[in-house]
Amino acid sequence: MKIISKKKIFVLIATCLFTGLLFGLFNKYYSDQPGNVNLILELKSESVEQYQVYFDTVGDKEWTEPNSEKKDYKEISKFDKLNYSIPPDTKNIRIDFGNSIKELDLKSFYLKKNGKHNFTKGEIQSLIGKTNDLKLDFEDDGIKLEATGNDPYLEILNVDAIIEPLSGMPSSYNYIMAVAALFFGFITAKSLTALKESVKFLKLSFENRKIVKTLSKNDFKNKFASSYLGIVWGFVNPFITIVMYCFVFQVAFKSGPVGTVPYVLWFICGIIPWFFFSDALPSTTNVFLEYSYLVKKVVFKIEVLPAVKIISALFVHIFFVAFIFIIAAMYGYYPDAYSVQFIYYLGAMIVLVFSVTIFTSAVILFFRDLGQIISIVMNVGFWATPIGWQIAILPGWAQRIFKLNPMYYIVTGYRDTFVDKFYFWQRPYETIYFWAFCFVVLLVGIKIFNKLKPHFSDVL
């Protein structure tokens, strides 16, 4: 009889535990999403007009501009669908039909999210509250509305009972989340088998910190050793890039303030952490190629080399963090308790780069095309990270996909620190995801590094 190894038993038990934990976390995350409901009006009119939908979430039928959405009808004499987004706790709705319509045909009127509810004529009649300057004629193919004054509108009351079942989770989502939880649970459990190796790896970097510090200083100086201005170029290039992007986005594209934050300050808080990431990731990936003479030395602990490149890139970044403080103060955002948080996000970014490059620095020795792939990923990554644009412009499902980019957490964190004034624990799901991502990638990276390490000298 074949005996199951302790390692396999550990992986099995850990997979079950992580699967249950992740499934619960996925459900909690889903239930905490605002998830607005779509209200669709399919109508036809003889004039161009703007229709406004008000939503009341309290039940007092107080119609205010902040709780409303406007849509333009432009296709004269053609049926068009106007899609409004309303909160899932909406109780009453008011539809304003502008001030220039004479007649209007309402073909369909329905709510949609995880399900769809078409309002029947009888249902609309029973839910209609107050109407103003409006005559309704219920016909077989829809409702004909005729304006009798300059302020036509109608109220649809007590829609919360209809919206509530539409906002529930579709049963198919449970299956998807269960499969995802099982997959990531297994990956996490499997990666934990490399925990002991990972601790040894990290311990080496700490024990040799004096060597790391010396090599980092030399590496930074050597980057610009052949140029006349030397290390000045390390600061000039990013500064010129910032000025160029600010000109393109604010002057050419006429980007306005983001909420109450000036666009220049908002943009700088996003691009400066990206500079560090885009500098540290490629250079750390190539560290064993650059220091091949040390890799071939049996007595040298090559595990410290990735940390050398990261610290080397850190010198310029610290300067630009000080630059953020200065620009923020110029706009009236002075240092406060939130500002200390930049240390946390800087540490998080270092961990991210270190975790990823342990894997890439080992693999690139055997697959040199990885360097070109990383270059492409960095170019795409700049635009896939909301640095010059706001993620709020995307629909909810697309936002969730873009938030899987770990640099989203860092860029948002720098903005939370300097301008938006949020603590990192106020973003619990993003924080859990980021550290889980780094943890798993680090363990997997170190496991692969240790397997490939004996062959480094053969391929250099």
Average confidence (pLDDT) over 391-416: 86
Buried b (16+ CB within 10 A) or exposed e, 48-86: ebebbbbbbeeeeeebeeebebebebeeeeeebebebeb
Asked if pLDDT for residue 345 goes beyond 90, the answer is yes
pLDDT band at 75 (very low <50, low <70, confident <90, very high): confident
The share of the chain scoring above pLDDT 90, in percent, equals 10
pLDDT band at 34 (very low <50, low <70, confident <90, very high): low
Asked if pLDDT for residue 407 goes beyond 90, the answer is yes
Q: Supply the pLDDT for residue 33.
A: 65
Average confidence (pLDDT) over 106-130: 82
Of residues 435 and 88, more confidence is placed in: 435
Q: Supply the pLDDT for residue 353.
A: 92
Q: Supply the pLDDT for residue 376.
A: 92
Q: Which of 153-162, 395-404, 405-414 has the lowest mean pLDDT?
A: 395-404
Which of the listed ranges 85-89, 99-103, 274-278, 400-404 does the model predict with the highest average pLDDT? Answer: 274-278
Residue 164, CA distances (Å) to 116, 158, 159, 284, 325 in order:
12, 11, 9, 51, 46
Of residues 1 and 24, more confidence is placed in: 24
Closest CA to 363 of 288, 438, 429: 288
Q: What is the distance between the terminal CA atoms of the chain, rounded to a whole angstrom? A: 46
Per-residue pLDDT of 166-180, as tens digits, reads: 766 666 777 887 888
**Residue 35 bridge partners (DSSP):** none
Task: Identify whether the C-beta of residue 81 lies closer than 8 Å to the C-beta of residue 42.
Answer: yes
Of residues 324 and 248, more confidence is placed in: 324
The share of the chain scoring above pLDDT 70, in percent, equals 90
pTM of the model: 0.72
CB-count burial class (<10 Å; 0-12, 13-18, 19+) for 222: exposed
Asked if pLDDT for residue 1 goes beyond 60, the answer is no
Closest CA to 348 of 264, 271, 400, 412: 412
Tally of residues, the chain: 460
Angle at 324 between CA 322 and CA 325, to 5 degrees: 65
Residue type, 396: G
Cα 383 to Cα 90: distance, rounded to the nearest angstrom = 36
Per-residue pLDDT of 409-429, as tens digits, reads: 999 999 999 988 888 888 888
Average confidence (pLDDT) over 353-368: 90
What is the phi/psi pair of residue 152, to 5°?
A: -80, 130
Q: Supply the pLDDT for residue 297.
A: 75
Task: Identify whether the C-beta of residue 16 lies closer than 8 Å to the C-beta of residue 9.
Answer: no
Cα 447 to Cα 366: distance, rounded to the nearest angstrom = 16
Per-residue pLDDT of 234-268, as tens digits, reads: 667 777 777 777 777 666 666 667 777 888 888 88
pLDDT band at 31 (very low <50, low <70, confident <90, very high): low
